[in-house]
A and B are shown apart, each in its own frame.
Chain A
Amino acid sequence: TQLLEQSPQFLSIQEGENLTVYCNSSSVFSSLQWYRQEPGEGPVLLVTVVTGGEVKKLKRLTFQFGDARKDSSLHITAAQPGDTGLYLCAVGQGGKLIFGQGTELSVKP
């Protein structure tokens, strides 16, 4: 059983569409991170959310941490081909990061 369940696993959309990616767990976390991995590169940290109910914005990306700090969502407005990549949520546990399986996003022009 995965500690973090991401959905959907795959998402293929047209440029200009909106989308939401979810990261869910039954456990409570002190913080949660989102990473993006572009093809052929290593993951890059996008944001860390810490407070329950917190909303953070990064240009067209909006991140939310659930009130109970068990889940998080990533919403992309007006997706562009440059948003294509693997989106990973992660939480710290015992000195290590535990990653979700990822959401593979493809944005077609």
Chain B
Amino acid sequence: DAGITQSPRYKITETGRQVTLMCHQTWSHSYMFWYRQDLGHGLRLIYYSAAADITDKGEVPDGYVVSRSKTENFPLTLESATRSQTSVYFCASRTRVSYEQYFGPGTRLTVT
């Protein structure tokens, strides 16, 4: 499907487990982003990537790992999930020349 997709859409995991959230875009956008959204905190940037093999920390990177071996994919890994990482996670992408971002549908993650 064209656009930006996230999987899974819903995930329940236990404290201490590793979990990976997937993000895939078909536009060949240079930039990709991971955000988390919690009540009272709005959208907070976790990590972003300007191109394949280039990643950088955002506002709240602790406890998360990213990689970008291909332009179209930007997985986010929680190495050892904690309850504080219960949140809705959004992936987004944009071209190199515009700040306009296009968001995926989100992944609702619950850590028990």
B50–A42 contact, CB under 8 A?
no
CA of A31 to CA of B97 in the docked complex: distance in angstroms?
13
Instruction: State which size class the interface on B falls in.
Output: 10 to 19
Given contacts A33-B99, A44-B103, are A101 and B42 in contact (CB under 8 A)? yes
Q: Does A16 make an interface contact (CB < 8 A)?
A: no
Within 8 A of B (CB), among A64-96: 88, 90-92, 95-96
Most interface-central of A45, A91, A100, A102 (chain B CB within 10 A): A45
Tell me if A48 is interfacial: C-beta within 8 Å of chain B.
yes
* B105 on interface, CB distance cutoff 8 Å: yes
B residues contacting A by CB (< 8 A) are: 31, 33, 42-43, 45, 48, 50, 56, 58, 90, 92, 99-106
- Provide 15 A-B residue pairs closer than 8 Å at the C-beta atoms, listed in order of the A residue: A33-B100, A41-B106, A42-B92, A42-B103, A42-B105, A43-B90, A45-B101, A45-B102, A48-B100, A88-B43, A90-B99, A91-B99, A92-B99, A95-B48, A102-B42
